[in-house]
Structure 1
Amino acid sequence: MTTKKYRAALPQLGDTRLLTDGGLETTLIFHDGIDLPLFASFHVFRSVEEQRALRRYYERYARIALAQKTGFILDSATWRASRDWGDQLGYSAKELAAANHEAVAMLFDLRREFEADQPFVISGNMGPRGDGYAPETMMTAAESENYHARQVATLDEAGVDMISAITMTHAGEAAGIARACAKRAVPLALSFTVETDGHLPSGQPLGDAIREVDADTAHRPSYYMINCAHPDHFRDILDKGEDWTLRIRGIRANASRMSHAELDEADVLDDGNPAELGQDYANLQRVLPNLRVFGGCCGTDHRHVHSIGEACIHAPAA
């Protein structure tokens, strides 16, 4: 039985601080030696052995959360489990829906095993229709809603507490996902990625993108995050203390200071310095008073999230 246990009141919308995982795809590829065509982690559900590796990946993080006496957001391995990516990998619509359901079902098993006194929130993960580093085409909100509504519906039917749409590159696509989630009453964490100058890959300033999506007040996300960039790339724009920064409740940063273009060309994983990244997050809490969700993105693994948790989870409020 799948229950939407936290949908009515996500704990991270209050004062509860939660960990989440790190760079799923980079971990599976570089640490576990798994081939992920098109960076599509949902493809592991075609292999029993690769599914086991994915479960071990989650278990490692769940144990960190338990050790640090905090909750956890279980994010499904469905970042690229939408229609265009499924088509490229030869999935039928039925097979793609099944992969989304299998990915969420694994999270329910993990919650049953690990959740104790602290909440384990189940999140359906979604990504952009195109390249997460450089959008080939700019979508309107209507086009985006039409495209993403199917995966939103599938994840909702699978029983998720919320949806996390991460590595959003432009406001139009982000707004469309927000509309699709709002129409099914699914809480949404909407995460933009930024370049080294703190602007979206579309060139729009992050604050302007958040304000643009929020302007559609009937479909506002529950909160925003920043992902797939090093804190050095966006700290300066947060230091200004503008009102839109209060909408940011999550960070999933890269371990590497490299730009998206440099990461795209890299053959070797740049995993940075876990302790240093933890301190970077601690410093971000001083400019993001509502920061409640702490995880990683490309190049990060359990070591980074452990350090981030040690630095942030039980730190005094800003």
Structure 2
Amino acid sequence: MKLTPEAAGTFAIAPTPFHDDGKIDDVSIDRLTDFYAEVGCEGVTVLGILGEAPKLDAAEAEAVATRFIKRAKSMQVIVGVSAPGFAAMRRLARLSMDAGAAGVMIAPPPSLRTDEQITTYFRQATEAIGDDVPWVLQDYPLTLSVVMTPKVIRQIVMDSASCVMLKHEDWPGLEKITTLRGFQKDGSLRPLSILCGNGGLFLDFEMERGADGAMTGYCFPDMLVDVVKLSKAGQRDLAHNLFDAHLPLIRYEHQQGVGLSVRKYVLKKRGLLSSSAQRKPGASLTDTAREEVDYLLSRLARVDKRADFEPRTKAAE
């Protein structure tokens, strides 16, 4: 079950569920994990940037990761282990792998600036967690402020045989995917799985540029599963039509600062989270924002019935 460069499909970025009082909601973890499996996700990534990992203490992070792993069964689980120091990174990585994780994800600290600093950091991170741990390189300059060119990414991957996947979240980033796949064609880059995040904002064209799938937390992971499968099947128009129907909600959810609030609000409406709460400090939606999201959902439901929550409400009654 360890992660390999052949990994493909949809890996949902899971939010960390909390009760209104800020305590971890284990029941919602189980419900989310079951849902991801039911809709066809190949994997789940936990304790990512939008998993509110910095708000958890070490024991809580270990408990959340372990619960997702144990519940996931046939799905692969990737655990975000980014930390200010390598000791904490190693501890969570080793514990997660011992619990049955498929691999871990590492993001660069914002302090890195030069290419040498970046490549050195990831060589040291590999040494810290152990070269037997498969890991995912997270490339998200919009949030992390660390710019990694395709050549730098190639160097990191070639330096570390255990780096098996790139989580691609650059914007603009379509040419980066093309360049990396070009490196593979000329033999200068070994096989590498590329899954795309950034809220899924460019997934339709990222798939056409050579991405292997999606790794993001959009509130309709079942749509991501469908778009990935349609793209791989060569059903270009169907993939774009479905993606375009969701694009207004994707755009709204992509707002900095409130995106997680939107995501948790919709996941609660879908019956997957008991509460849309974030652990403090955290944002919350205003009444106006909730009305806007509800309006977007009502429009989406005309095309995609998964956005129509009325049947679920009637069934519950």
What TM-score do the two structures reach when normalised by structure 1?
0.55
Shift in Å, 1:251: 1.8
- Structure 2: distance between partners of 1:311 and 1:245: 28
Structure 2 partner of 1:238 = 177
Determine if the alignment matches structure 1 residue 51 to structure 2 residue 55: no
Over the aligned positions, Cα root-mean-square deviation in angstroms equals 3.8
Of residues 248, 272, 281, the one that matches 2:206 is 281
Question: Residues of 1 paired with 2:133 and 2:128: CA distance?
Answer: 9
- Give the match for residue 225 of structure 1: 166
Q: Do 2:170 and 2:198's aligned partners in 1 also have CA atoms closer than 8 Å? A: yes
Which residue pairs with 1:269 in the alignment? Answer: none
SS of residue paired to 2:70: helix
Following the alignment from structure 2 to structure 1, what is the Cα–Cα distance between the partners of residues 108 and 169?
A: 7
Change in Cα spacing, 1:59 to 1:209, as seen in structure 2 (3 Å) is same
Q: Decide whether aligned partners of structure 1 residues 106 and 215 sit closer, same or farther in structure 2, where only a CA change above 3 A counts.
A: closer
User: Could you tell me how far apart the structure 1 residues matched to 2:39 and 2:232 are?
Assistant: 12
Deviation at 1:300, TM superposition (A): 5.4
Q: How far, CA to CA, are the matches of 1:236 and 1:147 in structure 2?
A: 35
In the alignment, the residues of structure 2 paired with residue 102 and residue 59 of structure 1 have an alpha-carbon distance, to the nearest angstrom, of 15
CA contact (8 A) 2:70 2:100 kept: no
| 2:136 counterpart SS class | strand
Aligned match of 2:195: 251
Whether the 8 Å CA contact 2:69–2:99 is kept in 1: the answer is: no
**Larger radius of gyration between Structure 1 and Structure 2:** 2
Q: Deviations over 1:175-205 (max 9, x none)?
A: 332222335x222222222349xxx723442
CA distance in 2, matches of 1:148, 1:81: 16
Q: Which digits, 9 at most, give the CA deviation of each residue in 1:137-186, with x for residues without a partner?
A: xxxxxxx5345222222223323232222576552443332222335x22
Q: Could you tell me how far 1:109 is from its partner in structure 2? A: 2.2
Paired AA for residue 175 in structure 1: R
Aligned residue pairs, count:
222
**Aligned partner of 1:178 among 116, 121, 126:** 126
Conserved 8 A contact 1:81-1:126: no
Identity between Structure 1 and Structure 2 (%): 9
1:288 maps to: none
Q: How far did residue 293 of structure 1 move?
A: 4.4
Tell me if 1:97 matches 2:62.
no
Contact 1:164 1:189 in 2 (8 A): yes
CA distance in 2, matches of 1:283, 1:293: 10
Match of 1:193 among 123, 140, 160: 140
Q: Does the 8 Å CA contact 1:193/1:229 hold for their aligned counterparts? A: yes
Corresponding residue for 1:20?
Answer: 11
- Alignment partners' CA distance in 2, 1:222 and 1:193: 16
105, 110, 121: which one pairs with 2:76?
A: 121
C-alpha separation in 1, matches of 2:221 and 2:36:
6
Alignment of 1:202-217 (within 5 A): 202-211=146-155, 213-214=156-157, 216=159
SS at match of 2:59: helix
Kindly indicate whether the alpha-carbon contact (under 8 Å) linking 2:196 and 2:214 is maintained by their aligned counterparts in 1. Answer: yes
**Change over 3 Å in CA distance of 1:19–1:13 after alignment to 2:** same
Aligned 8 A contact 1:193 1:227 in 2: yes
Which runs of no fewer than 5 residues in structure 1 stay unpaired? Answer: 1-5, 37-43, 66-70, 130-143, 257-271, 286-290
Matched to 1:56, the amino acid is R
Hey, what does 2:72 align to over in structure 1? Answer: 110
> Matches of 1:175 and 1:225 in 2, distance apart?
15
Contact 2:46 2:65 in 1 (8 A): yes
1:302 to 221, 224, 243: 221
- Aligned residue in 2 for 1:137: none
TM-score, normalised by the number of residues in structure 2: 0.55
* DSSP 3-state at the match of 2:29: helix
Residue 221 of structure 1 and its aligned partner are, at CA, apart by 2.8
Aligned to 1:73: 43
Deviation at 1:34, TM superposition (A): 6.6
Task: Report the residue type matching 2:9 in the other structure.
Answer: L
Which structure 2 segments of 5+ residues have no match? Answer: 113-117, 236-317
